[in-house]
Amino acid sequence: MARIDELRLMTQVARMYYEQELRQPEIMKRLNLSQSTISRLLSRARESGIVRITVNVPSGTHPELEEALQERYRLKQCVVVESVDDEEQIIRELGEAAAFFVETTAGPGDVIGISSWSAALLAMVDAMHHGARGGARVLQILGGVGSPGAEVHATQLTRRLAHLLNGEATLLPAPGVVGSRKARDVLLEDRFVAEATRLFDQVTLALVGIGAVEPSRLLAESGNVFSKSELNTLGRHGAVGDICLHFFNEQGNPVATPLHDRVIGMSLEQLRRVGRVVGVAGGKRKTVAIKGALAGGWINILITDRNTAERLLKG
Amino acid sequence: MARIDELRLMTQVARMYYEQELRQPEIMKRLNLSQSTISRLLSRARESGIVRITVNVPSGTHPELEEALQERYRLKQCVVVESVDDEEQIIRELGEAAAFFVETTAGPGDVIGISSWSAALLAMVDAMHHGARGGARVLQILGGVGSPGAEVHATQLTRRLAHLLNGEATLLPAPGVVGSRKARDVLLEDRFVAEATRLFDQVTLALVGIGAVEPSRLLAESGNVFSKSELNTLGRHGAVGDICLHFFNEQGNPVATPLHDRVIGMSLEQLRRVGRVVGVAGGKRKTVAIKGALAGGWINILITDRNTAERLLKG
DNA sequence: GCCGCGCGTGAATCTTAATTCAAATGCGCA
DNA sequence: TGCGCATTTGAATTAAGATTCACGCGCGGC
pLDDT at A226: 65
Whether residue B176 sits in one domain with residue B277: yes
In a domain, A95, yes or no: yes
Which 159-218 residues of chain B touch chain A by CB within 8 A? none
Residue of A nearest to B82 (CA): A4
Q: Which of A281-285, B66-70, B151-155, B263-267 has the lowest mean pLDDT?
A: B151-155
Tell me whether strands A137-140 and B77-81 are parallel, antiparallel or unpaired.
Answer: unpaired
Spatial separation of the C-alpha atoms in residues A48 and A44, rounded to whole Å: 6
Three-class DSSP category at A209: strand
Spatial separation of the C-alpha atoms in residues B23 and B52, rounded to whole Å: 19
Nucleotide nearest to A33 (CA to C1'): C10
pLDDT at A218: 43
Q: Angle at Cα A191 formed by Cα A188 and Cα A194, nearest 5°? A: 45
Give kind and range of the element (H or E) at residue A243.
strand A239-243
Nearest one of B181, B157, B183 to B172, comparing CA atoms: B157
Whether residue B115 sits in one domain with residue B229: yes
The CATH number of residue B121's host domain is: 3.40.50.1360
Mean pLDDT to the nearest integer, B202-209? 95
In a domain, A57, yes or no: no
Residue of B nearest to A109 (CA): B32
| Phi-psi region at A37: left, alpha or beta (left = phi > 0; alpha = psi -120 to 50) | alpha
Taking the CA of residue A131 and the C1' sugar atom of nucleotide C24, their distance in angstroms comes to 9
Mean pLDDT to the nearest integer, B81-105? 92
In a domain, B207, yes or no: yes
Q: Does A2 touch chain B (CB under 8 A)?
A: yes
Residues 6 or more apart in contact with residue A259 via CB below 8 angstroms: A177, A226, A230, A233, A234, A245, A247
CB contact under 8 A, B15 and A63: yes
DSSP B56: P
* Whether A135 CB is under 7 Å from strand D: no
Dmax over Cα atoms in chain A, in whole Å? Answer: 85
Q: Does A53 touch chain B (CB under 8 A)?
A: yes
Residue B1's pLDDT band (cuts 50, 70, 90): very low
Q: Are B289 and B240 in contact (CB under 8 A)?
A: yes
Q: Tell me the per-residue pLDDT of A198-222, one tens digit each, with 9 for 90 and over.
A: 999 999 999 999 988 875 444 444 4
Whether residue B111 sits in one domain with residue B216: yes
Among the partner residues B30, B53, B76, nearest to A18 by beta-carbon distance: B53
Residue B9 has pLDDT above 50, yes or no: yes
Q: Are A138 and A206 in contact (CB under 8 A)?
A: no
Q: Are B288 and B250 in contact (CB under 8 A)?
A: yes
Q: Does B51 touch chain A (CB under 8 A)?
A: yes
Whether residue B168 sits in one domain with residue B200: yes
Mean pLDDT to the nearest integer, A185-195? 91
In a domain, B57, yes or no: no
Peptide bond into B298 cis (omega under 30): no
Q: Which of A135-139, A222-226, A237-241, B291-295 has the lowest mean pLDDT?
A: A222-226
pLDDT at A175: 83
Higher pLDDT, A127 or B294: B294
3-state helix, strand, coil in chain B (%, to 5): 50, 15, 35
The CATH number of residue B31's host domain is: 1.10.10.60
Q: Tell me the per-residue pLDDT of B37-46, one tens digit each, with 9 for 90 and over.
A: 999 999 999 9
Higher pLDDT, A109 or A40: A40
Q: Which nucleotides of C are covered by protein (CB under 7 A)?
A: 9-12, 15-20, 24-27
Higher pLDDT, A130 or B226: A130
CB contact under 8 A, A67 and B15: yes
Taking the CA of residue A100 and the C1' sugar atom of nucleotide D3, their distance in angstroms comes to 30
DSSP A260: G
Whether residue B145 sits in one domain with residue B10: no
pLDDT at B173: 87
Q: Does B273 touch chain A (CB under 8 A)?
A: no
* DSSP class per residue in A69-118: HHHHHT-SEEEEEPP-S-HHHHHHHHHHHHHHHHHHH--TT-EEEE-S--
Residue A89 CA from chain centroid, whole number: 18
pLDDT at A228: 66
pLDDT at B275: 92
Strand intervals (E) in chain B: 51-55, 77-81, 111-114, 137-140, 169-170, 205-209, 211-212, 239-243, 246-249, 276-280, 301-305
CA atoms within 13 A on the CB side of B199: 25
Taking the CA of residue A131 and the C1' sugar atom of nucleotide C25, their distance in angstroms comes to 6
Mean pLDDT over each residue of chain B, to the nearest integer: 88
Q: Does A8 touch chain B (CB under 8 A)?
A: yes
The structure's pTM equals 0.85
pLDDT at A222: 47
Handedness of CA B259, B159, B137, B191 (dihedral sign): positive
pLDDT at A210: 94
Whether residue B192 sits in one domain with residue B75: yes
Whether residue A69 sits in one domain with residue A40: no
Backbone angles phi, psi at A39, to 5 degrees: -60, -45
Among the partner residues A12, A49, A96, nearest to B5 by beta-carbon distance: A96
Q: Are A266 and A206 in contact (CB under 8 A)?
A: yes
Higher pLDDT, A250 or B1: A250
Whether residue A104 sits in one domain with residue A13: no
Higher pLDDT, A174 or B222: A174
Residue B188 has pLDDT above 80, yes or no: yes
Whether residue B225 sits in one domain with residue B78: yes
In a domain, B38, yes or no: yes
- The residue count of chain B comes to 315
Q: Does A227 touch chain B (CB under 8 A)?
A: no
| Phi-psi region at B60: left, alpha or beta (left = phi > 0; alpha = psi -120 to 50) | left
User: Which of A53, A75, A103 to mutate to probe the B interface, most B CBs <10 Å?
Assistant: A53
Q: Which residues of A21-57 are buried (b: 16+ CB within 10 A; e: fewer)?
A: ebebeebbeebbbeeebbeebbebbbeeebbeeebeb
Q: Tell me the per-residue pLDDT of A256-282, one tens digit each, with 9 for 90 and over.
A: 887 888 889 999 999 999 999 999 999
Minimum-distance residue to D27 (CA–C1')? B131
Residue B236's pLDDT band (cuts 50, 70, 90): confident
Q: Tell me the per-residue pLDDT of A104-151, one tens digit each, with 9 for 90 and over.
A: 998 888 899 999 778 899 999 988 887 656 678 899 999 886 666 666
Q: Which residues of B81-101 are buried (b: 16+ CB within 10 A; e: fewer)?
A: bbbeeeeeebbbbbbbbbbbb
In a domain, A199, yes or no: yes
Spatial separation of the C-alpha atoms in residues B135 and A211, rounded to whole Å: 77
User: Chain B closest CA to A76's CA: distance in Å?
Assistant: 7
Whether residue A262 sits in one domain with residue A211: yes
* Whether B34 CB is under 7 Å from strand C: no
Mean pLDDT to the nearest integer, B86-114? 91
Spatial separation of the C-alpha atoms in residues B120 and A74, rounded to whole Å: 64
pLDDT at B215: 52
Mean pLDDT over each residue of chain A, to the nearest integer: 88
Handedness of CA A227, A233, A236, A242 (dihedral sign): negative
Residue A155's pLDDT band (cuts 50, 70, 90): confident
Count of domains for chain A:
2
In a domain, A41, yes or no: yes
Q: Identify the domain containing residue B190 by its residue range.
A: 63-314
Minimum-distance residue to D26 (CA–C1')? B131
Minimum-distance residue to D25 (CA–C1')? B131
Whether residue B28 sits in one domain with residue B117: no
Residue of A nearest to B45 (CA): A55
Backbone angles phi, psi at A50, to 5 degrees: -65, -40
Higher pLDDT, B239 or A227: B239
Between chain A and chain B, the number of residue pairs with CB atoms below 8 A apart is 131
pLDDT at A2: 53
Contacts of B4 in chain A (CB under 8 A): 60-61, 81-82
Q: Does A67 touch chain B (CB under 8 A)?
A: yes
Taking the CA of residue A34 and the C1' sugar atom of nucleotide C11, their distance in angstroms comes to 10
In a domain, B53, yes or no: no
Nearest one of A78, A95, A105 to A301, comparing CA atoms: A78
Nearest one of A179, A27, A31 to B106, comparing CA atoms: A31
Taking the CA of residue B144 and the C1' sugar atom of nucleotide C1, their distance in angstroms comes to 38
Residue of B nearest to A62 (CA): B8
Residue of A nearest to B128 (CA): A2
pLDDT at B277: 96
User: Chain B closest CA to A56's CA: distance in Å?
Assistant: 5
CA dihedral of residues B148, B149, B154, B157 (deg, nearest 10): 160
CB contact under 8 A, B77 and A2: no
pLDDT at A227: 65
Q: Does B85 touch chain A (CB under 8 A)?
A: no
Residue B221 has pLDDT above 50, yes or no: no
Whether residue A252 sits in one domain with residue A127: yes
Q: In what order do the strands lie in the sheet with A169-170?
A: A77-81, A301-305, A276-280, A205-209, A111-114, A137-140, A169-170
